[in-house]
A = this chain, B = another copy of it.
Amino acid sequence: MTDEPWMRGLHTDTGYLLHRIGLRAGSLFNSALEQHGLRLRHYALLRYLATAEGVRQREISDRLGYDPSAVVGLVDDLQRLGLAERRPDPGDRRNRIVVLTRAGRDLLRDSDHDAARVTEQLLEPLGEEERRQLQRLLLRVAGLDPA
């Protein structure tokens, strides 16, 4: 693609380049997740639920940056697929929390392989050491220092 004039402007603009590559990553994820009847946002939500004991919908919306109304629909979808469920919040019975089901955990494990394939596809031009370097830099950009 080196000769594409429209890409030439990207040489000096890392922010826009990150956006374009992020879109490509998202579209690769969407293709990989199709077999599970999921879209990227469902996957992001499943991943988030997997790291918590049970979360409120508002928290999901805050952390993933999706509209609260969109989150309701996403949770509905996951519940219909048996991948997550709403339960009363043990800390405050007036609230409900969202938790991953066993089936949700299984699917997440299966789709982890898909995620690895997406990363592999995306980073194909890079060698091992370059991949580690990129990962380190991206974690810094995300405000996460490498462990």
Give A contacts to B, CB under 8 Å.
1-2, 4-11, 13-29, 40, 47-48, 50-52, 63, 65, 115-116, 118-119, 121-123, 125-126, 130-131, 133-135, 137-147
Name the prevailing secondary structure of the A interface residues.
Answer: helix
Quick check: A6 and B123 within 8 Å, CB to CB? Answer: no
Name the one of B16, B28, B63, B144 contacting A25, with C-beta atoms under 8 angstroms: B16
What is the copy number of this chain in the assembly? Answer: 2
Which residue on B lies nearest to A28, using beta carbons? B15
A26-B19 in contact given A2-B145, A10-B142 (Cβ < 8 Å): yes
Contact between B17 and A138 (Cβ–Cβ < 8 Å)? yes
Inter-subunit contact B6/A47 (CB<8 Å): yes
For residue A134, which residue of chain B has the nearest CB?
A: B137
* A-B contact sample (9 more), CB < 8 A, given A14-B134, A22-B23: A2-B143, A5-B51, A10-B139, A11-B135, A14-B119, A16-B118, A19-B25, A125-B143, A126-B140
B-side contacts of A21, CB under 8 Å = 18, 22, 138, 141-142
Our pick among B11, B15, B137, B144 for the contact of A139 (Cβ within 8 Å) is B11
Shortest CB distance A78–B (Å)? 16
Cα-based distance from A119 to B10 in the complex (angstroms) = 12
Interface centre among A16, A18, A23, A40 (most CB of B within 10 A): A18
